[in-house]
Amino acid sequence: MKKSFAVIGLGRFGGSVTRNLIESGQEVLAIDSTEERVNEYMNIATHAVVANAQDENTLRSLGIRNFDTVVVAIGEDIQASILTTLMVKEMGVANVWAKAQNDYHARVLEKIGADRVVHPERDMGKRIAHRLVARNLLDYLELSEKFSMAEIKVQKSKFVNQTLEKLNLTGRFGVNVAAIRRSNGVVELAHSSSVVHEGDNLLVLGETRDVEHLDEKI
C-alpha cells in the first residue's frame, strides 16, 4: 500500500527527500514558506504549497494529521522546526522525522516526540570518515549507536575458497554475514554452506568495532 508523505521545508535536505520519495513512486505534499522554493517543486512533488508551518490553522487546513509520515526539514530556523514538530505530533501523525541542526536541537526534538531525529551533515560526515579510513569497506550503514552494516571486500587468500561455516566469522570476529555479493554483482543470501570466492564482497552485520576489526583482517 502506498504511504502518504508530507515534507515541510524544501532546502537541500527536504528537497532531496522529496525528489527521492517521488522517484520511488510515493506521493508527497511539499511545503515551504517561500514561494520561490515551492515553484521549484511544483512539477516535481504531487502537490506543492506555500505555507508557514508554524501556523496551527494552516497545518490543519492542509490536513497534516492524515499523512502517514511527516518530515520536518526546516533547517536554520530552530524555533520553527521545534514548534512545527510539536504541532504535527500533537495532531496525531504517527511517524514524524525531524532534521536537527545540532545536538541541543536533536535533544529537544526527541523530547517533544519526534519519532526519528536525523542529522544529515553529521551522519554523512561519519559515514564518509569511516570509508576514508577503512581499507576494504565499500559501504557502511550505522544501524544504531552500537551496530553497523557494511559491505567488505575479501582481500586475503586465507579467507577464500572456504565455506562460511568453516570461516566462522561470527565466532572469530563477532559479525554475522547476511549476504555475499559475487564478483559478477549478483547478491546471494548467506548460508553456512556458501563458499567465499576471490573478488566477493561480504555484507556483514555486527557491532561497529567488530565490523571495523574484520575490515582490518580480511
Which residues bind to ligand ADP, rule: CB under 6 A?
Answer: 8-14, 31-34, 37, 52-54, 73-77, 80
All residues at 6 or more sequence positions from 203 whose CB lies less than 8 Å from its CB, including other chains: 149, 150, 151, 177, 178, 179, 180, 181, 187, 190
> What's the min distance (Å) between Cβ of 107 and ligand ADP?
19
Beta bridge partners of 109: none
> What's the min distance (Å) between Cβ of 217 and ligand ADP?
39
* Spatial distance between the Cα atoms of 210 and 134, rounded to a whole number of angstroms: 13
Q: Please, which residue, 5 or 173, has the CB nearer to ligand ADP?
A: 5
Q: Please, which residue, 116 or 146, has the CB nearer to ligand ADP?
A: 116
Q: Please, which residue, 77 or 207, has the CB nearer to ligand ADP?
A: 77
> What's the min distance (Å) between Cβ of 23 and ligand ADP?
18
> What's the min distance (Å) between Cβ of 57 and ligand ADP?
13
Which class for 5: exposed (0-12), middle (13-18), buried (19 or more C-beta within 10 A)?
buried
Q: Please, which residue, 51 or 138, has the CB nearer to ligand ADP?
A: 51
> What's the min distance (Å) between Cβ of 12 and ligand ADP?
4
CA distance to 66, 108, 115, 144, per residue, from 104 (Å): 29, 6, 16, 19
Q: Please, which residue, 37 or 130, has the CB nearer to ligand ADP?
A: 37
Beta bridge partners of 117: 98
> What's the min distance (Å) between Cβ of 76 and ligand ADP?
4
> What's the min distance (Å) between Cβ of 148 and ligand ADP?
25
Q: Please, which residue, 10 or 45, has the CB nearer to ligand ADP?
A: 10
Beta-carbon neighbour count of residue 70 at 10 Å? 30
Phi, psi of 118 (to 5 degrees): -115, 150
Beta bridge partners of 8: 31, 72
Phi, psi of 6 (to 5 degrees): -125, 135
Q: Please, which residue, 12 or 116, has the CB nearer to ligand ADP?
A: 12
* Spatial distance between the Cα atoms of 188 and 181, rounded to a whole number of angstroms: 6
